[in-house]
Structure 1
C-alpha cells in the first residue's frame, strides 16, 4: 500500500459487520414489544428488511415511507429511543473481531469511519462506544427540532454510499484508492469497487460468490 497513513481511511458497514445483528430488525422488534405495531405489521416490516439484505427492494421508496411516518415527531424522541435500543439490544452484539480490526487501523494511523445506510440516530451510539473518528449515515431532514417527513438525498445506500464517501474524502483529504471498506452486503458492491482494499465480512450469498470469483479476502467476524 502506498500513501501516507493519515490519508487512508478504513470504512466499516454497521449491520452484520461491526454489530452482529440487523439494527432495523431490532428496532421493529422493539416497536412490537411496546405494542406500537401488530404482528402483521411486524411481519411486513421484517419481510422488507429481508428483501433489503438481498438487494431485492427499492430502498429509496422504503426510506420515503419511513421518513413520512416520522413527520412531526421530535428529533429528541428518536435519538433517545435509539440510544435506549442500542444500550439494551445492540451493544451486546458488537463483534470483538471488528473491534480488533478497528484498533489495528487506528494503530496504523488510519481514520476509522462507520459508513451505514442506517440513520445517524442508530449509528452515533456505536461510533461513540468504539471511539471511532467519524460516521457517515442516512440523515432525516429536520426543521426546528422536528422531522419534516423527508430525508437528505441521496440515501447512504448502494451508490449513495459512494456519494457521501467521496464528499468525506474530499473534506478530509482521504485517498480512496488506498483506503479500506468492510461490509457484508452485496448492495455495497459499488462502494467496494471504490476503494483499493476490499474486506468482505460475513457475506450474504451474492457477495460471497462475487468475492470468491474476484478472490477478495473474506473475513468472519464473531462475537
Structure 2
C-alpha cells in the first residue's frame, strides 16, 4: 500500500479557498469590507512570502465564525461553494486524486485552511476519504473563534499526519511510496518527509528547492508555461 497526500489551495484548487472565503465574507456584508479585506490580503501576502504568523492569522480568520448558529454558517458556506468554489475546482486535480484512489493508495488532503471551509470541498469535489486540516474549536455546538490542537501548517502538517497514521497503527515506513503534492514553500517540511515529493505549479521558492533537489515539477492548470498544453511535467 502507498500513501498519497495532497495540499488543497493552489494545488488541487485553482485558487486559495481561505483567502477567497475572506473576500466572500466581505462581499456578503458579514464583515467590515474595507478593514477585513486589507487584513485578509496582508495575511495572504505573508503566507506567500513564508512569513505568516499562524496564530495571528487563525485569530483573524476564525473570529467571524464565533457564536453564530451552525444553520446560518452552513447556508453561508453553501453559497460560497456555489458562487466561488465551483469556479476553482480543477479537473486535472480531480484526475490526479482519482488515479491514486484507483491504485488503492491511502489518500488524504493536508491543508492549513480550517476544516469548516475545506471539509465540504474535499468531500464533494475530490472525494478524498481523509482530511487533515486546522480544526476550529467548538463549545456547546458553536465555534469559539479559536483553533483546537496543532494547526496543519508547516511542521504542524508532519505532526498531524504522523498522529493520523499512528491512529491506524501506521507510520511513513509502512508504505512502499509516499507522495505529497504541493505548490507552497510552506510545505517544504512535509515534502522532505515523504519519499515522492512533487511540486505542483510551485511558488518561486518551492520551484528553486525542487529544481535543486531534482523533485518533479508538474502543472495541473491545463497548460504549460507558455499557456498551452494539457497539464504536463515541467521538470523531472
Once the 2 structures are TM-superposed, how far is the Cα of residue 186 of structure 1 from its aligned partner? 0.4
Partner residue in 2 for 1:170: 166
Partner residue in 1 for 2:156: 160
Q: Which moved more, 1:95-104 or 1:200-209?
A: 95-104
Partner residue in 1 for 2:84: 89
TM-score, structure 2 normalization: 0.85
Superposed CA RMSD: 1.8
Q: Is the 8 A contact 2:22 2:61 kept in 1?
A: no
TM-score, structure 1 normalization: 0.89
Looking at structure 2, the residues matched to 155 and 167 of structure 1 have their Cα atoms a distance apart, in angstroms, of 13
Q: Is the 8 A contact 1:184 1:203 kept in 2?
A: yes
Structure 1 regions of 5+ residues with no counterpart?
Answer: none
Partner residue in 2 for 1:189: 188
Structure-to-structure mapping, 1:1-16, within 5 angstroms: 5=1, 8-16=2-10
Higher relative contact order, structure no. (Cα contacts within 8 Å, ≥ 6 residues apart) = 1
Q: Is the 8 A contact 2:65 2:73 kept in 1?
A: no
Partner residue in 1 for 2:132: 136
Q: Which moved more, 1:157-166 or 1:58-67?
A: 58-67
The reply on whether 1:180 has 2:179 as its aligned counterpart is yes
> SS of the residue aligned with 1:42?
helix
Q: Which moved more, 1:176-185 or 1:8-17?
A: 176-185
Looking at structure 1, the residues matched to 65 and 96 of structure 2 have their Cα atoms a distance apart, in angstroms, of 35
Once the 2 structures are TM-superposed, how far is the Cα of residue 89 of structure 1 from its aligned partner? 0.6
Q: Which moved more, 1:68-77 or 1:141-150?
A: 68-77
Partner residue in 1 for 2:145: 149
Looking at structure 2, the residues matched to 69 and 90 of structure 1 have their Cα atoms a distance apart, in angstroms, of 19
